[in-house]
Amino acid sequence: MKPSFKASATAAASLTVLACLGAPEAKAIQVVVGGNSYDVTTFTGDYSSNTAKFNITDMPWWSSSSLAQQFAVAAGAGFGSVNSSVVGQLGPLFAFEFNPAFGVNYYAFDNQNSLSVQYFSASAAADTYAILSPSLPPSSSSVPAPLALFGAAAAFGWSRQLRSRLGAGPSSGVN
């Protein structure tokens, strides 16, 4: 028995919904520092494996302890407690320098005491760091992605149906 167009469309729709429900992205919060607005998100990892992310483009506070502190205070408890350390339950780490003797120096918001703290993390320790959200280029299409997938699924189902009709040959009847 051949699958019907309805069954094909239902299967395609189900796959589209599952694809849209994929892994959740890290939430981003908007902070204002120096009169400028920034979208900040997080990543979890260690310095040694992610040295390319520790730069002034992805972390504008990199190489400035005072700017790192301003960002940590602006983010406040917006991310919740994502790091545990000897100084308390902390938000993401706003890293500002690497010291070979101690590791990564950072400011973070202490969620228990509502203040920013400066400390360091070993370069191989997996921690949650703050980073700017990547800017996405403007889309060339104004059609939402799931809508395009539904259209493609419908077209595929219609083409299969047409193909099966053509494969059956001419119908017996009046010519």
pLDDT of residue 22: 36
Q: Which of 157, 164, 116, 171 is nearest to 10 (CA)?
A: 157
Q: Once rounded to an integer, what is the mean pLDDT over residues 158-162?
A: 72
Q: Which of 1, 17, 27, 7 is nearest to 145 (CA)?
A: 17
Q: Once rounded to an integer, what is the mean pLDDT over residues 116-138?
A: 79
**What proportion of the chain, given as a percentage, has pLDDT over 70?**
68
Whose tokens are 């339950």? That residue is 89
**What proportion of the chain, given as a percentage, has pLDDT over 90?**
38
CA separation for the pair 138, 136 (Å, rounded):
6
Tokens of 72: 């940590």
User: Which residue type is seen at 150?
Assistant: F
pLDDT at 129 exceeding the cut of 60: yes
Tens of pLDDT, residue by residue over 3-47, are: 554 544 444 444 343 333 333 445 889 999 999 999 999 999 999
Tokens of 17: 């919904």
β-partners of residue 83 are 90
CA separation for the pair 40, 167 (Å, rounded):
57
Q: Give pTM, 2 decimals.
A: 0.62
